[in-house]
Structure 1
Amino acid sequence: MTELNNDVPNFKPGDSVKGTVVKLEDKQILVDIGYKTEGIVPLNELSNLKTENPGEVVNVGDELELKVKKWSDDEIILSKKALDSEKAWNDLEERFESQSIFEVEVKEVVKGGLVADVGVRGFIPASMVETYFVEDFSNYKGKTLSVKVVELDRGKNRVILSHRIVEEEAEAAKKNELLQSIDEGQVLVGTVRRLTNFGAFVDLGGIDGLVHISQLAHEHVDKASDVVSEGEEIKVEVLSVDRDSERISLSRKKVLPGPWENIEENIKPGQTVQGLVKRLVSFGAFVEVLPGVEGLVHISQIANRHIGTPQEVLEEGQKVEVKVLDINENQERMSLSMKEVEQDNEEKEIQQYTKDDEESGFHFGDIIGDKLNKYK
């Protein structure tokens, strides 16, 4: 840089000078450059951005580095914008090559995006502002954003910046870190983000896992929305993690109290309960007595008479009365009997006949004998 003084009569356009702002006017500023004549920086040479008055860019007393636009004894025209642009382009080219992240301040909200001051006019298209859709950008003016240069053309004075890419890279890094920290068997808290016909996707803090519909509850679930809702926080257990495909399988069922938990507080041996035939097999019938709790009625316990197959007496979906013979909570097993319910009912009938006989004087010996013979 060449310093100006009274002994040097002039400089040619393109030279750089240093000066101090001495006065702000409506359409220009005056700068003391150490010469008999003060330099003039027109408003349109102050900044690459749209400027209404010089006070938006500089203040009296600021020291500036400027480029000479015109030099004569009568007038010295200088430019802050030209020198800023040159430095800015060099800096932007370096950042573009290195793909470095830097911060900018949003100076304008324009149709189609945002304008930032990067020494030159930097444009952030609406599609490159956030990872999500933004309807109104009015509150972005004055906001500081971390950006990367995604397109650069000095000849066309074109600088395209992206905040979205920075956010996406940060999310990807966070997602990878989280993925590496999750292991099978962990119990986590997540937020239900999306429901489908095959389950629910749960956000675990940056990465989604799937709770298959079969893992939403102990009982059968027709629709995920029957047991969970979008936005709900739920506790889940990690079933498996595939880091290559970034797939995480989760279970809500495993962290819920099982239907067999404390079952003996609700059902006791000897108790008669209502049940629903769920499955018929060659050796008996599985009957659901509580949601998620099934017991086996062995084929020998289905009827008082001999039967070849359970289908001779029962069909799936049929409601039946069963007597609890045995419960094992740890093994989740329950033995049931329909035959004993029938026997108990017949014994009640016999007792009633006996009572009627004593009260009325009639004799029902033959009837009682017939019924008792069934148990011989």
Structure 2
Amino acid sequence: MSQNPPNTPAGMDDEEDFEALLQDHLPQAAPKHKGELVDANVTGIFDDVVMVSFGSKDEAPIAIEEFMDAGKQLTVQVGDSVRVLLAGWTDDGEPEMSYKKARAAGAGTMLREAHDAGVPVRGIVTKAVSGGVIVDVGMPAFMPGSQADVVRLPDLSVLIGREIEAYVLEYDEGRNRALLSRRKLLAERNEAARGGFLEKLLPGDTVKGTVRDVLDFGVFVALGPVDAMIPRSELTYDRGMHPTEVVKVGEAIEAKILEINTETGKITLSRKRLGEDPWDKIDEHYPVGSTVTGKVTGVQSFGAFVQLREGITGLIHAANISWDSAKKSAADKFVVGDSVSCQIVDIDKEKKRLGLSLKHLSRDPWLDTTTRFPVGSRQKGKVKEIRDFGAIVQLDENTDGLLHIGDLSWTTRPKHPSEFVSDGQEVEVVVLALDAGKRRISLGMKQMTGSPFEQFVSSHPVGSVTTGKISRLERFGAFVELAPGLEGLIHISELDDQRVDTPERVVHVGEEVNVKVLELNAAKGRIGLSRKGALADQERENIKAYTSKSDAKPTGLSLGDALKAAMKNKPE
């Protein structure tokens, strides 16, 4: 009985075994027809070619580029077995072999079978072109940008060099063209994974994910095989912050599940609800009057926003930058990112508004204005602004007062303050009134000298007689100019000792008259005058003078004669 050699399967005789071994080890015959495929061995690698052997003794060079991948890396080494194609013959009759065309020949069959069977193919993305990418699947295939991923990729070049799997959407064997879709394959796999993943989630659960996209209205988060969304209002308790100020793409994030829509698969998350609302205990952590430090997150002309912690942002209004009365712009004082210390001056818990102040870190200079600027005191200042109703005078760095147009002059009624003062002018004024609570100081320039009324009263008591000029006539009497800027009134009943219907019948504008002071009303600044009183006094003086002369030298005249003589001397 014969024995089989070691490792020889039972039932194989010596003749069959020898034939099989011979077929396995004999080199494959050289191809004879153009386009014929043949297995070959890599025998050498040089700078520009790869040498392959086939048949019993045949050997041919193939350009090394045919064995490079998209990253220009060599894909074979000496000893590898590769399939090559007879592309033709040289002028010397030597075979021209191609590894690239061999792959393409096999790729056509593979693509057709994959398309018909609905199975994916593998390939390497070699370059990005207009509208999509080229994928090497043994031959170049096109994949549109819309089919590259489940979401549109803004930069398709990120796929270059990557090995991918994709479905064959279309294959044109005649034109040898293929259209691929990676999106369809990923969507199917995601959908399969979503079902099991969603079953494990419940509202209220805390999940971890990665920020996939940041938009104006919220943030998309990748949770394994599914995407979830955090609405902008659920990102942070800081209502004014943009999502890009809170998270960045690619950042790991933790959030709480608010809602799961089992029909649409939509998952809504909240980042801010992982912790308590910091406004719930705002009074405890940030009481009014406390000094705090925060970061400037926004600057507007009206003020600067300062974040004390996430969820707590306050406003330093421009009016609270400095005690200085000059208008301040927050843009001149703050820069986003600055660290700033300030004082909490107001809390509106209901509206979640926090008032901050820089100036309250120092003492309010208005607290001692009554000492520095007492009423009646004379002060020097600079005109910093002129308005229709008066001039704003800066008394010191932090204190302004109002010089009203009516307090510029005793004698002139200006139509505009610029008739008396100009911007930047140094002026001397009197403090007329001060209200520290309302931060108001009234100033006067004309009060630097006594008023015409006061000067007149000092030398013209009630009952005295003076001279003036008729300045204007009214139906109820005549006004008399007693001094520049000072008038008195002769009531129509005091114009003459006879009844007067109209002032024009007795006096006229510009006429000089003697008047007697009847009334001095300091509170109202009024002076009451009488022409008939002055005439009566003059008459008495004339009689007195005449009788005095008569007593010294008797004339023999009676009293009636004296009166007639006095009447002759009465002024018209």
Shorter-chain TM-score category? Answer: 0.3 to 0.5
Larger Rg: 2
More relative contact order in 1 or in 2 (CA 8 Å, sep 6+)? 1
TM-score normalised to the size of structure 2?
0.34
